[in-house]
Structures are given as structure tokens and as C-alpha cells.
Amino acid sequence: MKLPNLTILDEVDKRLRLTSKEVTFPLSKEDKDTINDMLTYLEMSQIEEYNKKYNLRAGWGMACIQLGIPKRIFVIVEETEKEKFKKYVVINPKVISHSEELVFVGEGEGCLSVNREVEGIVPRYARMNVEAYDIDGNKYTIRVREELSVAFQHEMDHLDGILFVDKIDKKNPYKNMNKMREI
């Protein structure tokens, strides 16, 4: 596998705060290549051999805006078993419904654009139904739960210029923790 040449923006870059624009179909070759590069990068970041070789931080998801491209596209690469991955290409997503139940990631969320330790919890919906388009412009609906729901919400926030650190209460980073379920 060859590591794609991607430059991931750091949280200080103001472009991360842009609201990404809806995408029209068919996608350009450049957009499709970017999506495939993002998928490859995330997969390699989760495989120990590559993540050591290239000094990569493991990541589950990436939004185009993290590469400075303000388009409503993100990808998620979920390891389902050792070095086996399920890949999600999510274009122009919309939340159709979500649970009332809130969850948070016990060890805290991370982000390839936030290169520091962050204390605190981010309230997220435990389950969601999302409508989106795939790389070929086919509309689909997906139900996401638990960690995958958190990943979808994290990436959808990027599309609106929001970082996970914005959702942590500055004065009380563990606020309302007892009203949510840890995952």
C-alpha cells in the first residue's frame, strides 16, 4: 500500500471553521481521487505496520474540509476485525432522526486536526438515521449506533466548521456525565 500525500489541517487553520458546500453529481475525478486517498490513509493509519512506518495517528474518519476542501464529504473506515475494514463514503449527509439517549466516548474523542490531549466529554446521540449519497451519487439511508454514530456526528460537525473541542464545556469538562452512557 502506498501512503497518499495528504496534508491534514491543524486546528489553528481558519479553513477548518468554514461551512462546507453541498456537492453536485457526478463527482469530478479529482473528488473521487481525494475520497479514495482519504479511505486509504485512514485504513493505513489503523494498520500497525503502516502506522509505525509512517508515524501516523490512527483515525476513523476524515472530512474533506480537513484537507482544505470545503465540500460536504466525509469518509469513515471502521475496523471490523483485524485488518478488515468497512468503508463509508458520506456525501451531503442529513440527519433524519436520532435517539434521545446521549453517549460519550470514555477515553475522550480525538481528531486528526487536533494534535494535543483534550480533557472532557462530548455529548453525542447513541443512534441516528442518516440520509446521504455514495461516491456514484446514489442516495441511501443508514442507521448508525454507538461508536459509529459518534464518528458520523464528529465528521458531520466538521462540515459545519465545528471541532469536537468546541462541544466540551470549558468550565466543567465532564458536565452532565451522569446523564449519559459511556461507550
Give kind and range of the element (H or E) at residue 102. Answer: strand 102-104
At position 65, the amino acid (one-letter code) is I
Helix ranges, the chain (H) = 29-46, 48-53, 146-159
Instruction: Read off the C-alpha cell for 72.
Output: 460536504
3-state secondary structure of 83: coil
- The CA-based diameter of the chain, rounded to the nearest angstrom, is 47
At position 75, the amino acid (one-letter code) is V
* Annotation marks residue 131 as catalytic: no
Instruction: Read off the C-alpha cell for 84.
Output: 478488515
Q: Is the peptide bond before 26 cis (omega within 30 degrees of 0)?
A: yes
Q: What is the distance in angstroms between the CA of the first residue and the CA of the last residue of the chain?
A: 32
Task: Please pick, among 79, 119, 155, 182, the residue that the annotation labels catalytic.
Answer: 155
Contact at 8 Å (CB) between 92 and 72?
yes
Which sequence positions are flagged as catalytic?
155
